[in-house]
Amino acid sequence: MMRALRILFSSLLILTALPSSAQEVPLRELIVSHSDEKGVLQLFRMKEDGSDREQLTKSERGCRMPAISPDGNKLVYVEQIDHGLALRISDLDGRNAKSLTKLGRNLIPSWVPDSKHIVWMITEGGGDPAMNSKIHLMNTETGESRRLFTDPEQLKFINSMPVVSPRGNRIAFVSNRSGHMRIWVSDFDGSEARLASIPDKDIHEDPKLPIEQKVPTWSPDGKWIAHWQGVGMIHMSKFTGVENRERDQKISATFQVWVTSADGKSRRVSGRGDDPTWSPDGFVTRAYPDQKRGGPKIMIETNTEPKELPLVPPRRQFGRFAWIPEKTN
């Protein structure tokens, strides 16, 4: 009997001494925007395998583009109200929601590392939102806001889709300063701007249209920036009003997620898709339409092969997602 207990105790010691890679890793959590049974985009909290799904919003017109404060306490998102797109802020469970903006089309909110301020873009008119937008900064506690990049030289160009680096000293954004829409990095005030990701060519071979870059996002360590690259959707049938399925297919085939080093010296392609994010441990995700499942297919890089994240049920619309930060005590 004593010998059996000693063997069992030794086995337990071996198990607890195994490296972390051999132990079960707890599932991380996210907040995902996807449509409900009525076809309206809502926010849902879930684990990365799609389990424990909990609906956070009950919007009449739709909620999308969730952004979670770095301290993991607050949630900012875009809600369609009447004919506008308003910024809303709430607790992480969706409670105590209130509007940060009331007028205009407010898009792509991104937190500053202090978990107090956000940057976002305000766009006007129809068509491509990035082509007619302004970058703003807001204190979410007081509601005070101001426009960024107001130097006369900066005002000559389009500036959109801002995201602040993890240290808070730099900002990545989209601009046409080089002629085409590209990813730029500058100091927080817009000074010392430089191209961050330079494609091999400016015009795609087929279709013969400009190659653009959009939706930058910083890696958790601030060393890398993931972004979308391809021919702009503005050239597709739903924007031009001229039906051309073959052209649309060629354009969508150009949509890829790229990763560039923050210093612009190295870049690589992650794979097909759009709307990149970074997991808390530094892996890139990307999403693209999947006709078989009727909705987006969301892929994440791993140390070996990319794997699918089953975040959106089949035949549902998708409005982006955000990882809930891992809190350290």
**Pairing relationship of beta strands 224-231 and 74-81 according to DSSP bridges:** unpaired
* Single pTM value for the model: 0.90
* Structural domain includes residue 21: no
Q: Does residue 77 contact residue 97 with C-beta atoms inside 8 Å?
A: no
* Total number of domains constituting the chain: 1
Task: State what percent of residues in the chain have pLDDT above 70.
Answer: 92
* Structural domain includes residue 8: no
* Structural domain includes residue 20: no
How far apart are the C-alpha atoms of 108 and 154, rounded to whole Å? 20
Listing DSSP states for 90-114 in one string gives EETTS-S-EES--SSEEEEEEE-TT
Number of C-beta neighbours around residue 100 at 10 A: 18
What pLDDT digit, counting tens, does each position of 78-128 carry?
999 988 999 999 999 999 999 999 889 999 999 999 999 999 999 987 777
Q: Which amino acid is at 25?
A: V
* Structural domain includes residue 328: no
Domain with residue 227: its CATH number is 2.120.10.30
* Structural domain includes residue 121: yes
Domain hosting 135: range is 26-323
* Structural domain includes residue 48: yes
Nearest to 164 by CA among 110, 226, 224: 110
* Structural domain includes residue 79: yes
How large is the average pLDDT for residues 48-64?
97
How far apart are the C-alpha atoms of 89 and 95, rounded to whole Å? 9
* CA distances in angstroms from 133 to 73, 124, 276, listed in the order given: 29, 6, 21
How far apart are the C-alpha atoms of 287 and 256, rounded to whole Å? 10
User: Hey, which residues does 324 pair with through a beta bridge?
Assistant: none
How large is the average pLDDT for residues 226-246?
90
How far apart are the C-alpha atoms of 156 and 153, rounded to whole Å? 6
* Structural domain includes residue 313: yes
What pLDDT digit, counting tens, does each position of 302-329 carry?
999 999 999 999 999 999 999 999 875 4
